[in-house]
Amino acid sequence: MAKNWVVVANNTEAKIFTPAPPARRLRDPEEIQYSAEELPPSQLVELEALEHPAGRLKPQSIDADRPGRSFETAGKKRHAMSREVDPKKQQAIAFAKQVAERLESARLQGEVDRLILVAAPEFLGLLRDHLKAELQRLIEEEFSLDLVQMKPHEIRAHLPETLFGVPATKY
């Protein structure tokens, strides 16, 4: 049986789902016949959730210290040093690395064979930057959407039917 994961993430939260196999319905208990119309739609089942509360903080709360000061290269004037990366972006980078490490761990342990990534646009780029080449080969599809706050059936409804072989549930 294939181990498929749907990873839904943004800079503060990541959820890992797996498609539940559709239960088959029998017409006659003695005669096993199935048709695509009779199969109930697949659903997503949450396996795991990762949270990064620091990603919700305001920049001034993340980095409350004043910037350091340095001297001019020529002369005796001092000036404040600027930051290379915004504190919020730095938190998002750290979380993308954490999510990538969890996915790599799952790959090494044989927990996942196929990945579908659904992430907020900026976070998807950060996540890609931290995925190893072997893990990137498992990615079947990527969607640039922030669906983390949605319920599993709502997330499933946003994904193409072709990924699961059956239509999404209409709620």
* Cβ count within 10 A of residue 121: 11
Position 35 scores a pLDDT of 46
The enclosing H or E element of 44 equals: strand 43-51
Report how far Cα 128 is from the mean position of its chain's Cα atoms: 11
Q: Where are the domains of the chain?
A: 1-22+38-55+85-171
- Residue 165's pLDDT is 60
Compute the Cα dihedral for 118, 152, 57, 94 and give only its sign: negative
pLDDT at 86: 76
- Which residues of the chain, if any, have pLDDT below 50? 1, 28, 32-40, 62, 64, 170-171
Rounded Cα distance, 74 and 130, in Å: 40
| Residue-level pLDDT at 36 | 44
Count of CA atoms in the C-beta half-sphere (13 A) of 128: 15
Per-residue confidence (pLDDT) for residue 171, from 0 to 100: 44
**What's domain 1-22+38-55+85-171's architecture?**
2-Layer Sandwich (3.30)
pTM of the model: 0.72
Residue 120 is predicted with a pLDDT of 95
At 12, is the secondary structure helix, strand, or coil? coil
